[in-house]
Structure formats: C-alpha cells, structure tokens
Amino acid sequence: MIFTSNQALNKNGLKIVPKNENKNYLMMQALKDIREINRNLFFEQKKMEEKIRFLLQYAILAPSTHNSQPWLFKIESNSCKIYADRSVNIKEADPLGRDLYISLGCLLENLIIAAKYFNIYDKVVYRLDEEKDLVVEVLFKDNNDKTNIDKNSEKIFNAILKRFNARGEFQKEKINDDILKKISELNDFNDLKIDFIVGQEKIKKLAKLTADGLKIAYSNPEFRKEMSQWINNNFSSKRIGIPGYSLRMPAFISFIFPTLVRFFNIGRKLGWLNYKSMTSAPLVCLISAKDNSSLLWLKTGRLAERLMLEFNSLGVKTSVFVASLEMGELYKDVQKVVGTDYIPQFLFCAGYMNFNPKKMTPRIAVNNKIIV
C-alpha cells in the first residue's frame, strides 16, 4: 500500500491508495499542496509509527539543494533513522557532499521542532559512519494527551508550513535589534558561529563574491548541464527539482529556461540579479564552523533552518546565497570580509519583502521515502 500525506486524510490522518492507482496518485500529488496538514489529526494516530509518519510530513518541508530532497527514512518502534539518499546526484554543485548534509540537517531540525511541539521528542543520536548512508536517529516518547503540547514552540512550528526561499529585492526597513538578539541566542552549538553583517560596504563585498561564484559555476558546461536537469516548467507534475514559479518566472520563460541554462553561460546575468537582491537586504547572516566535517555540516543545516524559521515567524523573509562558499576558494575572501577564522558554511539574507508565493515548491510524499 502507498500512504499519501497531502490528500484527503482518513481517520488516521493518512489516505491509503492502492498500488494500481499509482498514476492517479502522482497526478493528485501534483495538484495538491503538500503543506495542507491538519495538525488536529496527530492525536488520532494510535501507534507510534503512525505518529512518526505524521511528523515526517513537517520534516520534508525543509529546504534542500535544487529541491533534491536527499533523504530516506526507516521507522523502528519509537525511532526514526534518517539516511542519505545517494540516488540524488548533484556532484557538480556539491562535489564534497556538504550541501547534502546541510539539507539533511534542515530536515532533522524540522522533525525535532514538530516532535517538541507535540511533546513526543526524546533525543537525537548522530550515527554517521555506523551504517552505510545512515546519518542520524531521532528517538521519541509517547504522548496521547491533546492538551499536552508545547505552546512555547508554536510560532516556530507554524513557520514550517509557511517558510520559503524569498527571491527578489528587499524593502529598506531595518530589522529590530531585539529580533537579532533573540536570533543570536538560538545557537546552542559550541562548534558553530553566527555572524550578522549589517554594514552596506561589507554586504556589497559579499554580494560581489556571490556574483563571482555564479560566474565561475556557470562557466562550467558540466555544471550547466546538471543544473538544467533540475529546473522544471511551471506546470510540471514532478515532485522534485526547482519549478519555474519558485524563481518568480513567467510560464513561457519556464519552458525555455532549462535550455538557456544548458547551452548558454548566463552566469553574469544571474550574478547581477543576485547582487541586486543581496545589496537590497538590511542583513546578511553567515553560519561558520570550526572545521569541515559531515557532523558539522549536519549541525549547520539544523542551525540554518532554526534561524530561518525564527526569522519567518517574526515576519522577516530569508533568501539563501551560497555561491561564494562553494566555488574554489572564494570562501576565504568571505572570511576576510566578515573577519572570522571559522569556515563559512551557509549564508542567507534577511529582511522585509512584500511577496508571498501563490504556490510552494513540491515534495515527494513521505511514504515514497520510507525504507521498508
């Protein structure tokens, strides 16, 4: 049987679709919004496995490179093991696997936030290198009391459903210092560091480095070929990859854009657009780590998602710009601009933007990502 997470829900919060209806199921997936989750159905899940499946609906809303969704799940009793999905191939954009682990970290953070909200979170155990592709295990405790939820985490929990990568130019309004103080206090990782950059001169330098990174990336034909394969037109039924509408792209352009990316070097144009967006932002946030390791990349993803969700819960939009951290040794120039001896791992802008998408990026349903 195939369970779907975003169609009409039965009393267990999950609709069961026979395998012979798989084509219809996929079509319905394309027409529905994966974020249509009725939280009130959580306590109707009788078994712990059902509760974990329910929470995974929130976890998969995490961002990932190219919306590649490089995760797999194995549910055992009161635990959920998260594996790296090695069938996801973005070797040109992510040769070291850093983005893969950051994406998994974002997913992990969503799962923990949802579990804490419903008060069933126990602990997280990092299991890198214990088993092939196994990354982490989350343990849960049971809770059948509808009144026993964590109201303190409700705002950031709600933000999971609303988070998106804001593209475009920001408004001039500054972010309140009280918000920045609150955000900075969310870092509980001793080996990670947050830097807020608010000065326009430094932001312009970082924006220039981002533009340089895009020029380097798109000058590589193999990178362009790979990138073109991850971009979908606005009407595509694919549940993976980047739909044109998420780039704020008109329908007609979305059909020809993959071809443009594949055969033409548009790095200079994209660099200029990213420069304009970054320099309009009142704030750049950089997350850096003591060193490069799978564990610290995973933690970076957790912290990045936590910060972006907190910003979003306070009405502040966020937009990710990582080209300067991924191409050659540009990251060393980022270190100099920011003034840190830690290794830059994740960079995003934050600010106010009068834009909300009519449609969110799609996701592969939870049960198509579960290892039996």
CATH of 2-164+363-368, one of 3.30.950.10, 3.40.109.30, 3.90.1010.10, 3.40.50.1370: 3.40.109.30
Cα–Cα distance measured from residue 182 to residue 191, given in angstroms and rounded to the nearest whole number: 19
- Give the residue-averaged pLDDT of 104-117: 98
The structure's pTM equals 0.91
Q: What percent of the chain has pLDDT over 70?
A: 91
Identical fold for domains 2-164+363-368 and 177-219+265-351, yes or no, is yes
- pLDDT digit string (tens) for 240-253? 999 999 999 999 99
Check whether 5 has a pLDDT greater than 80. no
Check whether 362 has a pLDDT greater than 50. yes
- pLDDT digit string (tens) for 19-39? 333 434 333 433 356 788 999
Check whether 106 has a pLDDT greater than 50. yes
- Give the residue-averaged pLDDT of 130-152: 92
pLDDT at 131: 82
Check whether 111 has a pLDDT greater than 90. yes
Q: Mean pLDDT lowest for which of 148-152, 213-217, 282-286, 344-348?
A: 148-152
What SS3 string covers the chain?
Answer: CEEECCCCCCCCCCEEECHHHHHHHHHHHHHCCCCCCCHHHHHHCCCHHHHHHHHHHHHCCCCCHHHCCCEEEEEECCEEEEEECCCCCCCCCCCCCHHHHHHHHHHHHHHHHHHHHCCCEEEEEECCCCCCCEEEEEEECCCCCCCCCCHHHHHHHHHHHHCCCCCCCCCCCCCCHHHHHHHHCCCCCCCEEEEEECCHHHHHHHHHHHHHHHHHHHCCHHHHHHHHCCEECCCCCCCCCEEHHHHCCCHHHHHHHHHHHHHCCCHHHHHHHHHHHHHHCCEEEEEEECCCCHHHHHHHHHHHHHHHHHHHHCCCEEEECCHHHHCCCHHHHHHHHHCCCCEEEEEEEEECCCCCCCCCCCCCCHHHCECC
pLDDT at 34: 77
The domain ranges of the chain are: 2-164+363-368, 177-219+265-351
pLDDT at 130: 77
CATH homologous superfamily for the domain 177-219+265-351: NADH Oxidase (3.40.109.10)
Per-residue pLDDT band at 14 (split at 50, 70, 90): very low
- Give the residue-averaged pLDDT of 317-334: 97
- pLDDT digit string (tens) for 185-228? 999 999 999 999 999 999 999 999 999 999 999 999 999 999 99
- pLDDT digit string (tens) for 275-325? 999 999 999 999 999 999 999 999 999 999 999 999 999 999 999 999 999
pLDDT at 335: 98
Check whether 257 has a pLDDT greater than 90. yes
pLDDT at 372: 85
Quickly tell me which residue has 């490069």 as its tokens.
292
pLDDT at 129: 80
pLDDT at 208: 98
Per-residue pLDDT band at 12 (split at 50, 70, 90): very low
297: nearest Cα among 75, 79, 115, 108: 108
pLDDT at 52: 97
